Amino acid sequence: MRKTVFSLLLLCLITWIATGCGTSVQADLSAYGDEPIRISGLAAEEFTVTPYELAELDCTAQSATGRTQKAGTVHGVGPALGTFLAQYGKDQTDFQKIIFRAKDDYTITLGPRDLQEYTIILAIADGKNPLSEHEAPLRVLIPEAESSKWVRMVVEIEFVPGTSN
């Protein structure tokens, strides 16, 4: 009996490690998975990342309901911004502000207070479904924040260092 329980636990641990230690993205990202998202201010040189690359990180599933009917409820699956930044030895509180720009020129700027208080999800899927064409390639979901900060169609993220960086 002990050997069976141990074998089962070992199998679960191996499966957990093999799937990225978190929520895996089950949605079909093929319509936008290789669309580049420009990243500036994080490394010495500007670079791009794709939804496919973000899907390889430890992802989380979050839902949030906006205060208005128009905002509705959003279900996001993707890595937390902190998970993305950890690859570069950074934390979101290392920045004075982070600017998210969308295809339609909608822009939000998250300042020091936002970056200290909120968990920011880089959503690349809507639950088990891909993002719609009006959301892809990336949607920012901040469950505790106003829905006006849940920018969609993100194609650029600009990191502005804090004064101590």
pTM flag (> 0.95): no
Is residue 110 within 8 Å of 154, Cβ to Cβ? Answer: no
CA dist 25 to 29, 86, 127, 142, 157, Å? 9, 20, 8, 18, 21
Each of the 165 residues of the chain gets a pLDDT tens digit; together they read 544 444 443 334 333 333 333 567 889 999 999 999 999 999 999 999 999 999 999 999 999 887 776 777 888 999 999 999 999 999 999 999 999 999 999 999 999 999 999 999 999 999 889 999 999 999 999 998 888 899 999 999 999 998 765
Tokens matching residue 137: 């390639």
For the chain, the domains span 23-161
In CATH terms, the superfamily for domain 23-161 is Oxidoreductase, molybdopterin-binding domain (3.90.420.10)
**How big is the chain, counted in residues?**
165
